[in-house]
């Protein structure tokens, strides 16, 4: 049987790649007429800290014979942009891959079949040009929520009207995809700098060139935001989430760490452990880590804490693991909390959130983490760090009432960037002991998640519509 060949071009970051692979697997589960090639760029980090993206991708995709992973060559990193704007840096870095994408399609795809469409990530809009050259449709795969998609589209139209960045002196902005006016303090940092603002405005402008926008969300969660996108100007939106792996990747490189964590959790009471994890790029300086330790000890809650070492200032690298946690912990902390909590570096987040012992999640509010926490019914304590995480936290707390607020406006390099132990203690106690209303709403949303992707659910129906459109292009 001849298959429709789709080429995926994800942003070179772990969360984006994982989502792209889960979407690919879901697409193949829903229709046996596709085959998929995923083109994996090298992450834009310094070589010494580069993640083995290809190995991770191969592991995640292993259960499907019709997903092919192609590792693209290294390109020069445009370091002259890095200090000016991370967003501009990533945009220019990805633009440097355009010829490699053309060559990979020519050498690995076209000799055996024709391309039916390109699925490009939010930072990869330059690859729409490649789809146009091939005379095939392009689809945008948006790894964050509908609220943030609406914000970026608002950014683009606002730039056309106002031609100026946001100002920190602004009080609030009305953004159609959010229920409540959005305070300036939670608007992503890039919107306050000209290069970051223009980079995203240009990406969002190109979103409208695609044949459809695929979002890792579901209508029951973001009904207001999804409704706001039906404005006649935005391409059709397909809500296909939550994209949660039913069969998580193998952890052969971390098997002993995995076994230690899961064995410890097996010995803990039901919903008694608070899990702290801030994503693959999340880290704090040692003063803040000590304060977290004090707050956890004061809370008297069981804890599982994933800790990474803060990179040297000005270095764009993945945080590494500590050789010894005693480097930053208060004296005697490990002895006093023995049996109550454990610290780790790498952590199998999906499996931890699925464990019966976990009752709360202190999170950076990356969108994948939000989806995973809702799927497993674990309420979040918001501690955003970078990118769109502040506005995600705002949405979860203020618009949706699905999270406990520690901070909404925390920015790692911001003015008010230190969180004291008493704040941490209060938030941890609140999620574990006090806020039954949030827990109840999260449990209800967990059920809605599963219904959305089940037979006849809203995301399943959206998937079916998307498959029809993709196959029509093939035919």
**32 an active-site residue?**
no
The size of the chain, in residues, is 475
Q: Which of 16, 203, 364, 376 is catalytic?
A: 16
Q: Which of 100, 121, 247, 325 is catalytic?
A: 121
**121 an active-site residue?**
yes
Q: Which residues are catalytic?
A: 16, 121
């Amino acid at each position: 049987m001849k298959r429709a060949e789709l080429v995926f071009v994800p942003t070179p970051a772990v969360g984006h790649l994982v989502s792209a692979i889960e979407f690919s697997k879901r697409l193949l589960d829903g229709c046996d007429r596709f085959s998929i090639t995923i083109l994996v760029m090298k992450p834009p980090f310094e070589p010494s800290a580069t993640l083995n993206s290809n190995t991770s991708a191969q592991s995640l995709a292993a259960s499907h014979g019709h997903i092919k992973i192609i590792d693209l060559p290294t390109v020069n990193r445009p370091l002259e942009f890095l200090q000016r704007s991370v967003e501009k840096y990533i945009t220019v870095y990805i633009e440097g891959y355009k010829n490699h994408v053309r060559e990979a399609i020519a050498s690995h795809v076209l000799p055996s079949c024709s391309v039916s469409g390109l699925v490009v990530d939010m930072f990869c809009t330059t690859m729409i040009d490649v789809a146009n050259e091939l005379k095939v449709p392009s689809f945008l795969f948006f790894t964050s929520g509908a609220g943030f998609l609406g914000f970026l589209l608002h950014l683009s139209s606002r730039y056309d009207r106002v031609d100026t960045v946001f100002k920190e002196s602004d009080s609030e902005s009305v953004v159609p995809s959010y229920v409540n006016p959005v305070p300036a303090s939670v608007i992503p940092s890039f919107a306050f700098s000209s290069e970051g603002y223009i980079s995203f405005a240009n990406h969002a402008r190109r979103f409208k060139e695609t044949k459809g926008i695929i979002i890792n969300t579901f209508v029951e969660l973001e009904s207001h935001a999804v409704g706001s996108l039906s404005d006649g100007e935005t391409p059709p939106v397909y809500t296909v989430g939550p994209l949660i792996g039913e069969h998580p990747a193998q952890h052969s490189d971390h098997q002993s760490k995995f076994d230690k964590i899961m064995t410890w959790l097996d010995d803990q009471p039901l919903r008694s452990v608070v899990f702290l994890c801030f994503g693959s790029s999340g880290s704090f300086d040692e003063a803040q880590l000590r304060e977290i330790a004090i707050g956890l000890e004061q809370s008297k809650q069981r804890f599982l804490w994933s800790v990474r070492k803060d990179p040297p200032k000005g270095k764009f690298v993945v945080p590494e693991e500590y050789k010894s946690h005693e480097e930053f912990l208060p004296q005697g902390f490990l002895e006093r909390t023995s049996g109550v909590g454990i610290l780790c570096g790498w952590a199998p987040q999906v499996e931890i959130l699925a464990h019966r012992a976990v009752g709360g999640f202190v999170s950076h509010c990356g969108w994948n983490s939000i989806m995973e926490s809702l799927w497993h019914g674990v309420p979040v304590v918001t501690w955003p760090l970078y990118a769109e995480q502040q506005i995600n936290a705002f949405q979860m707390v203020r618009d949706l009432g699905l999270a406990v607020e520690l901070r909404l406006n925390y920015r790692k390099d911001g003015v008010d960037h230190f969180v004291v132990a008493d704040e941490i203690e209060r938030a941890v106690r609140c999620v574990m002991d006090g806020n039954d209303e949030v827990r109840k709403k999260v449990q209800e949303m967990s059920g809605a998640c599963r219904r959305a992707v089940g037979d006849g659910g809203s995301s399943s129906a959206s998937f079916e519509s998307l498959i029809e459109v993709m196959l029509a292009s093939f035919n």
